């Protein structure tokens, strides 16, 4: 019987599954968005949410617990500084799983796992002001040459 057995096996040994999920959570927290299969995405969501909760706690024990899962010290620092502040007021549900497509090789259902409150992209530079400036310069040069 499978009473109180959480998580899928993902057709891997326990060591392989643990290593894979640790790598995936490190990549997710580093890049804030990754693409993977549906089954892996559902398992990854549990671990990633737990890591962000540890980041919000912020004490030494939480940092050591996070370092035991996350493979990069830089990513752990980002978790405790940047991501913890971003999700400070949010009570849970830090990740989103979006089903996207079927993988061409084996038709596996694919998903995108991303952090809910993604960093806002930088505002695009106004391109119209450059064109106007170049037109003004061109018309000014034309006016100068005609005189």
Evaluated on CA atoms 88, 89, 93, 98, the torsion sign reads negative
Q: Mean per-residue pLDDT for 2-27?
A: 92
**Tokens for 107?**
């038709």
**Please, what's the b/e burial string for 76-89 (b: 16 or more CB within 10 A of its CB; e: otherwise)?**
bebbbeebbebbee
Question: What is the structure's pLDDT at 2?
Answer: 85
pLDDT at 57: 94
Question: Whose CA is closest to 106, among 44, 33, 39?
Answer: 39
64-122 per-position pLDDT tens digit? 999 999 999 999 999 999 999 999 999 999 999 999 999 999 999 999 999 998 666 55
Collapsing DSSP to helix, strand or coil, 116 comes out as coil
Residue 134 pLDDT greater than 80, yes or no: no
Distance of CA 104 to the CA centre of its chain: 24
The model's pLDDT over 17-71, given as tens digits with 9 standing for 90+, comes to 999 999 999 999 999 999 999 999 999 999 999 999 999 999 999 999 999 999 9
Cβ atoms 111, 38 nearer than 8 A: yes
- List of domains in the chain: 14-118 (3.90.1030.10)
Distance CA 116, CA 30 (A): 14
> Tokens 């034309």, residue?
142
Among 23, 21, 5, smallest CA distance to 13 is for 21
Asked whether 137 and 56 are in contact (CB, 8 A), the reply is: no
pTM for this entry: 0.76
Q: How far is CA 121 from CA 47, 124, 125, in A?
A: 26, 8, 12
């Amino acid at each position: 019987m499978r009473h109180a057995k959480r998580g899928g096996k993902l057709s891997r040994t326990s060591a392989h599954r643990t290593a894979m999920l640790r790598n995936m959570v490190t990549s997710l927290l580093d890049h804030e968005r990754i693409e993977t299969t549906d089954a892996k995405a559902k398992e990854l969501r549990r671990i990633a949410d737990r890591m962000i909760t540890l980041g919000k706690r912020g004490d030494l024990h939480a940092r050591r617990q996070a370092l035991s899962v996350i493979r990069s010290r830089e990513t752990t620092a980002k978790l405790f500084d940047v991501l913890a502040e971003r999700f400070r007021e949010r009570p849970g549900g830090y990740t989103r799983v979006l089903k996207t497509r079927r993988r061409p090789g084996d038709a596996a259902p694919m998903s995108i796992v991303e952090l809910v409150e993604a960093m806002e992209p930088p505002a695009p530079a106004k391109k119209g002001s450059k064109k106007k400036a170049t037109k003004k310069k061109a018309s000014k040069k034309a006016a100068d040459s005609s005189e």
